Each structure stands twice: as structure tokens, then as C-alpha cells.
Structure 1
Amino acid sequence: MAESECPVCLQSYNGEDTIPRVLGCGHSACESCLLNLPQKYTLTIRCPACNVLVKYPPQGPTSLPKNIELLRLLDPKPPPLNISRNDRPVPHFDFLPPSCSPDFYSSWKQYILPNDAVLLLQKSQDEAAVSLGSLKEVGKSQKVSLVKVVSLVSDQADSVFKYSYFGRIIRCLGDMRVQDRDELASLFIASLYETKICRVLGLWADLEDDCLYLVCQRLNQSLQNLDCLRNGDGLINNNGLSVFVTMGLEICEALLALSKQGLIAGCLGFSCFTLDDFGHLYVDSNDIIVMGRKVVTSVVQVRCAGRRIKNEQLGVFFSDLLKSNVFLAPEVLFELLSIEGIGVECGGEFRYSVEYGSDVWSLACVLIELLVGKQFTQGLIDYIHLVSAKATEGNSLDCFGMYTGWVEKVSSLMEEKLDIEFVCLQQMLYQCLNFDPVSRPLLTDVWKCIRELIFKPEFDYMIKLDNVVNMEDKGHCLVLGEMCWLPKRNSETQEKDDLSGVENSARADIDRVEAASGVHHLVEGISEKKFKFKDMQGHLDCVTGLAIGGGFLFSSSFDKTVHVWSLQDFSHVHTFKGHDHKVMAVVYVDEEAPLCISGDSGGGIYVWSICVPLGQEPLKKWNELKDWRYSGIHAMTASGKYLYTGSGDKTIKAWSFLDGTLVCTMNGHKSVVATLAVCNRVLYSGSWDGTIRLWSLSDHSLLTVLGEDNARTVSSVLSLSADQHTLVTSHENGSIKVWRDDVFMNSTQIHNGSIFAICIEEKWLFTGGWDQTVKLQELIGDDFQVDAIPIGSIPCVSVITALLYWQGKLFIGYADRTVKFLLYRTIVITKSDRNFSWCS
């Protein structure tokens, strides 16, 4: 019995308030709801139950018939809810890549730069180094820095499937750990919301070395290139008080920008800060990552020397960091050693947590060297080497005592170099070097102290720096984060894979068999060439159409025949002969009896029985009427008891395939009808005139026309495919257009030449055409936006003329003479000009 409630308002039907009115699709809805449903196209409406376009009378819902039988049989008790509303089986794809969710795609697509957006100028072979490039923008070129994030999975030279540029990056991001992606996202967000951080522009892949790079804005000058720093002189020796105040304030503001986004640099140096054309200073996250990777590399080298480090060795290691102009807070160093499992004699007693105060320590070192020059680092290095040398002679070395002496040495140096007007700043910097991060002043306190060198406190009544950073939040340290440890982790993973490859060869064979039945391993299997080919002989000319049914695969060809192949072993079973012209299309129908119907360029329509044994003669045949516009049949499809043909005379004809009588002729297209499809009781027709027309299957009337608004840029529709709410059309200019519920979503150029074949199954879209490439797209989106993500491609040796998906197999028709099928992987390739191929 039909549903007893309206699918819109969910009210039970009755003969007074909620009167059920029957739509053309057979479903019912109450009269009041039909009156308020939106009408995108004139005299059509979408059924709220099945979403099919149906005719809507101009007089309104009152002209629709009442559902009398429903009112008569209506039970006063409401029927139970139908929980399972979608009984459509989920398709099985053995060859498709892991699918990213719409949220994942929408989150990351904005950060992926095009392949041709970046020009690599200076490439660094060291992962702990910055590469230089330029970003191509409209009318100008912007300098950028590039830091390697991770290595891409490279396509093998002999691989059939080739990932697209975008697909490789999405796959790489999907394979990364959640922590890695979260840190990447935090860098993008921080540069977006803070003006003192160099803008992170996006992710870019270098396909030559298979590397994914983080691209960041590159300003004109680095702080380490200032003359006063290169020459070893400080700003004080050059009477640069105003310059120091300006730079000191902006260095503090840059670190505050990081802190406000919950980020801690962890280590700092002059290379981390850059200047723009106006002398304003910014912090560069790429350089922080590179500096952090150098520190991590040094720590790993220490680990290789032993699992425990003495105090004097720790001093030497610390001095080596100072030589490299790397200022690393003690608690950060201890944490790095702890991560690598390196014990320190004083590590447990004096270890503190890493927090915002860690950057205050590094900031103090930067400011002191900016003031007094290289005497700061050189003096400290000499002091540490002197103390370490005494320890090697047999004297015990106290770690905390060495650090206290180091700080006193810094204090003495500042007293010697700085005048009395810098007493407050000297005390502030001294406190910044406190061993305990909690006892160090805040970044805002350092900022105020520097500012008071020029501006008196009474003029700061407009400044409010309270609660700029939530000190209760410890923040995320970049040096301890994922980006600085990625190269090390990747190398360990590679080493592990190399060792396990030989030991687990037997297990690998088992995994390959298991992967053959998994949707997430399909493209991986193709790219690794886990299959074998076998040649077959078939057609003598180009394959034009494919159809499946009754346990057979049917292929039509210009050689005037239809070949029948077994779906069990893909052997050739039979050949239907009899056409006098090129066979342009073939369909399978199964109403009262299973039939194969083929149409040719001369207008001939042949109906073949596929009951075993297969016969030589057609059950029936007939011809379209010819006139001066006639150019034969170009497309065919079937629904119910009707066969629909698209012809060169610009019409669509409906035939009864039982007796071959012409039921009706649908007019409206202005050129050849090249493609037909049926979905949700709607007939879709695409034409060389660039439009798509929707026809009602109930009365064969026109429902609506798509594509008329682009009359100035007409591109012939060569193929279309409809699946549930999505319609995709392919065009002669190499583009596809996507509609969702008959609303245009987007147009994308994906091929270099005409697209002759298209196939959609759920969200997977396969296209092929003139450029001899099958391309795989993933349709991701919602009712407001649909994007076609380029996943990869399969290079071919001939023009693709037909595509068909069936039970995990993709059949492809070609225009060459090769016949192949692939074993082990469930992808079937059909090639034509004299041949036909498939893979299993």
C-alpha cells in the first residue's frame, strides 16, 4: 500500500486538509505542499518522493487527480516508518584510490598551488635547508622560499595508472599523520590572521624529484645580512639606538603573533627574521622549521655517539649551536634529548616544561647579539670550551653551575658594553635568561622595556597588552613538532621498509591477493603493475559502443558487426552480422526476453536474441525514414518497452522494440543528437548544438533544456552520463560540465581534445577521448557546489571511443587494433579498431 503521509509535511492524508494528489511519476503529495514547492523551470516540478522532474499543470495542484485508492484504503493507524530508504547496492571498486571526504577536500584544496604556479630557482639537496623560487602571479612574480615537507609516492615508469598532480598531493596528505596535517594547518592559519608572520602561500609539488614543499613568502632581506651583524659589530657600537628599538619592538611583535596563534618557535636565530621594502620585520616560519631540522639532526648525531651525554659534552654541544647562530632554550634542548632517549647527568633535576617563556630566552639572545655583536656568542663559546677543558682534566663539572657562570658572563658583557641608560634593559634581558621558564618575564614585558628606551611610560596610556596571550595554554613548539621531525621519520620508515621487503615477501603475496578485493587498493595495484596482459583478436575496425547483459559483453564496431564476449573468461562467443552500414550503438534490454539491439549509420535497427544457442539472423529489423537531413543513428538507449534513438536529423525517436513501430518523435534539438541516457524516469539527450534536453518518459514531453544560457560559447555535447542527482556531460573542447538536480555546478577543462566517452558511478567519473588518455575524477560536493578532483590517468595508445563500468570493471573502447585483457586487477580495457581488450 502507498505511504499514508505526505513526504513533505509528514501529515497523514485525509479528504479535507491534506488531500493526496498523484504526480506523473506515480507518487503522491498533499495539495498544499505541492502549491508551495519551488519551480525552477516552467510547468515542471520535482517529485518530493523520488526527485524526478514531472509535468506540473498551469492551473496548479487542483488539476492533478486525487489518490482515491489511497483515501479509500487509508488506515487510521499510521504505518511504521521505512528506515531503509536507499536499497541501491553500494558499488564495488577494486581499482579506485582511497576516497577523501568532502570536508577533507574542502579544507585542503585552498592550500594546493597549481603545478605551474612556482618556478624553482635555487634547489637545495639538503632537507634541512631552504630552496628559493618565484610564484607566478598576475602581472608580477613574487619571491618565495620552499621547505620540503615529505616525499611523494612516485609513479613507476612501467605503471599503467598515473596519478594526477592534484591527486598525488591529496594522496600524500591523506597518508600523513593527523599531527602532521594539524601542524601544517596551524601554520597556514597563523600566517592568515597575523600580519607579522610571513605569509604561507600553500603546498606545491615538484614532480621532477617527487617532493612536496611548503611555500612561504620571501621578503627582500634577512636580518642576518645587516652590515652591523656581518661585521660583528653591534648596534650600540654604531650609535644605532633608534634602529635597535625599532627592530627589537618588531621582533617582539613577531613572536607575539606566533604566541597568539598558540605557536612557540622553540629556537631562534637572525635568519628567522626578514625585512620588507619599508624595513618592517617579519618572522619566517619556513626558516624556523629549517633551523629546527638542523637542531634535530645534531641531536640525532649525538644519539649515534651514545645513549648518555656528560655535562661537558652537553656544554660542547650547546656551544656548537651558538656557532651556528642557533639560540635554543635549555628546556627545549633537554626535551629534544629526551625524545631521542639520550640521558643527561643533570637532565632530570633541572628539566622544565616547554612553554611561551622558551621563546623569551631565545629572544634575549637575539637582542643581546643585536646590541653588542659577535662578542656575545664568541665570548660564551670561549667560556664553555674553557670550562669543558677543565672538566676533562679530572675536575667535576656541575651543569647548573656551568649555566650560572654562563649567564654571569653574559651579564658582565652587557655591563661592559651598555651605558647607564640601558640598565633597565640589561636587567630585563638578564631575567630572560633565567633557567626556570616560569621566572622569565613575558614577551609583552620585554616589548615595554624596549619601548621605554625612547618613549616615557606616561605616553603609553593608549597601549593595552594585558592578556594578549593565554599563558595557561602551553602552546605548540615548532622545533618539537612534526615538521622538524618529518625527514628523520621518513628516513626511518624507508629503512624499515627496505629491511622488511625481503623478510616478508611471502606475506606480500598474500597482501596482494587481499588487496584485489579492496576498494582502497585499486589504483595502488594498477600503479604497481600487479596484473598481466593477454592479447585477444576481435573487431576489424573502431569499436563504437559497449553493453552488458545476460552474462555477455556486446561491442559494436565500424566493421558492421556486433561481437559477443563471455563475461566468465572473456572469450569470443559469437558475432552478429547483417548490418549494411557502420554500427554506431548497441544496447541490451531484458523485458519479456533478453535482447541485444544495434543501430547503424544507415538508420537500420536490428534486434538480436541472446538465447543460447545464439542465432545468425536478427529477430526483427527496421529502418528510420530518410530525408535530406538524414545521417543515421548516433545514440541509443532503452527504458521499459521503448527503445530511444538519437539521429542526425536532430530528433529523438521512441520505438516499441516488440514490433518496431514508431511511438513518437521528439523535436527540439538544432543539430545531431549524439548521446542519450535514462535515469530516474527522465530521458537525457545531448546534441552537437551544445544543449541537453530532459524528456518525461511518461508522455515523452519536454521537461526542460540545459545549456541554453551559454549560446555564445557553444561546444558540442559528445557524451553524457546521469547517476541519481548528478548529470555530467563531455564536450568537444575537452571540458566536462556538472549539474546537480538540474542546477549547473561547474565546468572543468580536463582533456586536450574532444571527450568521446564518459562514465559515472556514484562519485567516480571516468572520461576518455582524443588525447588517448583515460582520466579518473572524484566528484565531491553538496547541493551548492560540486568539484571534480583529478585523481589520475591511464595513458593509452589510441583514441578512446567508449566507456562502461560494470561490477568493479571498467570497459574502454578504443580506435586502434589491439585486443587485451588484464588479469588479477578488476579493470577491463576494451580497444577497438580491429581489436578489443579487457582486464579482470
Structure 2
Amino acid sequence: MDEAELPECPVCLQAYDAVSAIPRVLTCGHTTCEACLKQLPNPFPNTIRCTVCTLLVKFPNSPSSLPKNLDLLHLSSVLQHLHPQGNKKVISPSSPQANGKDQSVLFPSALKSWSYDFYCKWKKWVLPGDCISIEKVGSESDGGVVCGEVLKYFQSDYMMGCVLREKEHVGLVRVGAFVESEEDSRIFKASYESRILTVLYRMEEEERNKLGIILNATLRVSNVGKVFGFWCNEDDKCVYMVCEKIASPNLVKCVLKKKEDKDERLSSDEISALAMLCMEICEILSRLHSEGLVIGFLRVSCFGFNDLGRVYVDLGEVLNTGRRLHMAVRKELSDLEISLKDTFLDNDIMFISPEMLLNCFVKEGFKFDWGKSRYEVGCASDVWSLACLLVRLIVGSTFVEEMEHFLHFVVNAIKEEKGCDYSGLCMRWSEKIAVLLEGRLASEYASLQDILYRCLGFDPGNRPVITDLWKCLRELVVKPQFDTGLMLKQEGKNMNDRADVELRVDEDVVQGLSRGHVKCTEMKGHLDCITGLAIGGGFLFSSSYDKIVHVWSLQDFSLVHSFKGHEHRVTAVVFVDGEQPLCISGDNENVICIWKATIPFPEEPVRKLHEKKDWRYSGIHAMAISGTEYLYTGSGDKLVKAWSLQDYTLSCAMSGHKSVVSSLMVCDGVLYSGSWDGTVRLWSLSDHSPLTLLAEDKPGNVGSVLSLSMDHHLLFVGHENGSIKIWHNDVLMKSTQTHKGAVFSVSKKGKWLFSGGWDRTISLQEISEDVDGMEVTPVGSIACNSTITALLYWQGKLFVGQADTTIKVYHLQNPFLQIKENVYKYSVASCIVDDTVTMSDAWDHEPE
């Protein structure tokens, strides 16, 4: 067995002892050494932020008054006695563990070692064990691709529209293996669910995050094969990611019906067909880029056609193709050329960018003389692959021959290990491809020849962005004189700058407002004033004085369902994203209704809670949640109450306010409560003790707090007198008179601050910080026809609740293009994810 590691401080990483690194236990239960506790900053008096869970907890003046962790001290002394040198296990970068490839889990290493939050996050992706069987396992030459068959109907409560039907074929991508020794299995047998969660939990966090990005992207990006979840095979104990499998004709034969070897030019109809096909692929890739996903290669079999004839990406095929690529690269040098030819140059040719191929070799331990620079895989890699696919469709089988010559030179350069001018090699190859294109395309398509030549360049930074390629293809379909009403914005940044170029009108609703590209959609269904908005599970939930909570679709803003269980005015609503998604609403008679928030929606609440009523004060005015642990309510009795979301009991009541608690907000381990007494109080989420009080020192200048919004370290407070105050910790940074009347709602997103209230306007301000302080710049306002009672900003859209029963949605207009009798709609997500995942890194998790 491996030697046990010494317990160490999570800050300085020094092994605990009784002298220099004394372990002290914080009130949240986590341990940090005494020396580090003395140096950690104190954001508020007598508080400290735990280095493990990041909660604000009570902290005495001297850390030596905290209790010692005697168990860790004893364990550390025992291990140091057994292993005096205290050597720590080091994983070299070239080891399988460091590369994330050995994902076998030996059980039992720990029984249910994951947290409840981890369980809630991944449990929804676990598929029943009896709903799938393995139908076919491919040979080693084709990457060992596994296909499955659905045994019985299954519909996910979490993913709308994701249904597994009986006899349907699915793709299976292996993500790990669960191993039990015979001796352990005789004593204890892990449950099916535990096996899947254990494999996921034992993954490196980076690899698990990549899987999470892929799962979420498949829900948000259309025309991409869906991932249904994870399934564990009882026979081989392997955990598979279950993907939608697309059955469609060969892409090449479908597009080009003529013989590929004919040395004649393509007709205008064939060029238009190719252009329309690749335009759709451009859009799909751009949407994936916006979700942080880069494929890095393309293969003909990765694409198909759905029932409407639109291009579809088979995600399972993409992941399995990446597995096959890595297997080919791992071959010995003597078999390297044969293995790569079998992988790249079969009937289903693979187009992999130079930087992708060379980086794959580096990950497998090969060394290169990169010369001046080494290029990373990014969005430009997909541009290279897409250009190769288009050239393949135009040129035909001659292109495959040139690819074989190119691959031969690359393999020889790797074998010699003497360094190679890869840039010059790629340039000579692309010049040959340009000659082939000239023979197949007429002179009127010179612009297409030019952009394809530039797309095949070695330096990703010099390749055209995907918008340029899309626009060039579009001009082949729609003549400029018929091109009206479509506006594209180009951002010429490459992936090395962590940015992308997308086919879109604008980044979000803010930029769209200044250019007149914003559309306002009205959602009508309530009969009285809107009091609250919440988003979750793909739906918008709205509460109203009409005693009803409406559920709206975020796709077309239509009314989906109505929760009717309150007998009095509903004043607040929140969404809980747990194992069982919940919608929770409260009314002005202290009744809390808890609803199941998944399809099919229930007619009756799951549970009803009743706050204790006081004849002087009544009504719930505000609600907030802390993950899946607590529901917090602010009421007319001046109290903030914490309700357990596990057993729905009242855990505690926090007192301190001198009037109605009108607003609540949870952020970074702190509960913020605003009151009509003009103050904001901060409470610790760990033990619900008071942390500090935010109030102005000026007497007689009290304005009731009506709304709160939190963004990292800044707190935005809307008051009854029309002012908005900005706090940093316990320091008032800025106070602006924004509205003429009460500010009922404040919403901060990025650098933009939205606010609305009694004066029937939505104010937009830009918040900027620098070394000299904070600046609040008024940008503009939106005039409304009624009082603004609720604001919610989500994915570039601004949702506005009004007193006249209407909900308005301000969002970007989607560009559209009409070609002959068919209407094609091009729309791309309008935000860029910072952490970009290359799909080639996200599949290879089984043991070598």
C-alpha cells in the first residue's frame, strides 16, 4: 500500500506539529495552522474567512484560544515516527496519473467520501442501471468504440426533451472503471449509484470540470448530440457517458453525387450546397466555442443530418474519435506511421490541425524543437479542420493523397528527433492544395480560394476567424444586392488571447440598447402586481399579488404552468437547484409553499410551512437560499428566520433589526438582510451569528432599505428615498441619487448596474474601479409604463416585473436570412466562457 501522507495546513502546506504549525479548529469545523491564522485578513471585526469552505466565521483576538486538533496532532506524530523523512508522494508530469488517464477506482478507499453538494450536482446525471445494454464493442484498430441499446423507456426529469426510447441506439464513451477486490466484495457491495459517483469523485478536479462543461454545453447548444448522463456496466465495471447516436448518410456522398476523380470544375449549384453546409457547421462550432468547447479536429462521421435536413454533430463520435487519436499517438515509433495512416487516412478521413497533432505528441512524451513559438489548441484549430473538410468536398480523393504525403513528412521528422521546420512544411503543403483548388473552382470563386488558403496556415494567429469564413461562404449563397437586415460583429482575437469571434448581433442587451437592436417581449398572465422573479431549471418563476406563481418557458417566453396553493398575496419566490429542483414561494400571511419544479409540474405543493403570526406584524417580505441547506425568510416581525431544506423545520430566528426585514441576499458565505430601519445586517452562514451592521452615521438621514444586490466584494443597496448606496465590506464607497422615489429592485451584472422603482424607469449605470477609487457613470434609462417591482438579468436578457401585471423581457433581436423557400436562422450564444476545454482532452479516462 502507498505510504500515508502527513496532514498539512491548507495554506502553507507545512505538516502539522506541536511547535511551528499547531492545528487550530475554526467554528466551521475546518483546521488551519496557528501561524497562518495570524496572517489572514479580517474583513470584519472579530471574523475571519475559512481557507477551506470560505465561510465567514467568528474569530477571537488570539488564535491560540481556539481548540487544537488533537486527532491531527496524534496522526502526524505517528506518521513522522514511522516515516521520519516525511517524503511526500510526487506525480511526475509524464506519469499516467498526472495526465489524468488512470481513472480506475479501487474500492473501498472510503465509504461515501463525497460531500452532499457533490452528490446533488452529479446525481441528476446518473442513469438507471437496467435501461441500457452494450450492443457492440469495436476492435482496437477503430479505438474500441462501444455502442449500446436502450432496453426500456427513460425520460430525464432534469433535461427537458432528453428521452431514451426502447430499441434506440446510443453511443458510449468510457470515463472510468470501478474495481473491487474479491475479498472486499464478499463483505460489502457498493451500490450502483455509489460506483458512478465514486469514479467521478476520484477524478482530478480539472478533468471533472471538463466533463461538466461538456454536459452543460449539450443542453444549451442546438444541433449537437445530447449527453443523457452516466451509466455503469455490471460486467466490466466501467462507467460510460451515454450520448445520442445519429444515423445518417455519408456526408460526402450526400453533398457531392458526381465522381470525385473527374478533373472538371464544380457547378454553381454544388458550390452553393457546400457553402450552406459549411455555414451551418460554422454556426455550431461558434456556439460550442461560446460555451468553452473546442473540438480540435473534424471527421466526416462526426456530422449527420437531423429530421429537418440540418447538420448535426454527433458528440459521442467526436469523443470516441479523440480516443482513437490518442491511441494512435501512443504507438511505438516503428508503428507510428502505419497507425496514424490507419487513423487519419481511412474512408472516414480525420482533419486535425498541426498544433493539435503536435500537442498530442507532447502529451505522450515526445520532444520537439518548436523554434520560435509553440502554438496552443484553440478556436483557430477548428477553423483549420473545417477548411480541410471543405477542401476535401471540393477537391475529392486527390486531397487524401496530399494528406498522406504531408503525414509521411511529419512522422519522419518525429522519428529523426533533429528538429523540423514545421511551418515551412505546412506552407509547401498548403500551396499544393491551392493549386488543386484552382483546378476545381472557377475564377469567380477566387475569394473562396484565398480564404481557404489562409485557413490552412501553420500559425493559428494568422488564420481568419470563423466569422470571416462564414461571411465568405454566405456570399456564395446570397448575392450582396439581396443581403439586407443582417448585421454581424467581428472581434478579431484569437484563442491565445482567451477570446473568440462569434456570429452574433452584440454581446448582450446593454450594447444592443445603444444600437437599437433590442426587442421587448411582454409576458402576460398575472392579474395583479408582480412581486418577484426567479430563474432555474430552464424556467422563469414569477410571483404576484394575484396569489399565483407562474412558470414560463425561457425558450419562447410562453406560460407553461401555474402554481395555485396560496390563499393570500404571494410576495417572494426563489428557486432551489438540488437533487429535487424546488420552487419556494411565500405570502403576506406567513405561509410558505414548496413546489416540485420539474415536468410534470404538480397541482399541489410538496410542503406548506407556517411562520408564527403576530397580531402586530405579518407577512413574508423577502426570501433567499443558501445552496440546498437553508431557506431564509425576512418578515414583518423584524426577524430573519432560517429553515432547513432537509426536513423543513425552523432552525433559528435572527433578531437585531428594528423594523420589517424587506430584502435578503446570500453571497460568499454571508447572509445580508436589509430592513425598513435603514440598515443592512450581515450574518454568518455557518452558525447564523451576527457579523456586522452597515448604517450611515448621519442622524436623521434614514431611508428604508428596499432592495439588495451583491457582486463579489461590493454591496448595492436600494433605498426608499431613491438613493443607491455602494458598500465595500463595512465602508460606504458611494451614494447616488438615482431615482425619484423608492428603488424596489437592484441587479448587478458585470460592470452594469440595473435599478428600477417608483418613477417607472429602469436606470443603467456603469461601475468602474481603479486605484483612485470608484466611479459610477450614468449610461441611460428605459422608460416603462408602470412601477418597476422586480429586475433579473440572465444570459444577456433583462427580465422586468411591473406593477401593471406585465413581465417584460429585453433581449437581442436574432438575425435571420431567407433563401428561396427556406428560412435559416442564425443565432449564437452571446457570452464567452473563460475556461475553454479542448474536447480531445476530455475522454481518455480509462486505465492504459
TM-score if structure 2 supplies the norm length?
0.45
Q: Please identify the structure whose Cα radius of gyration is greater.
A: 1
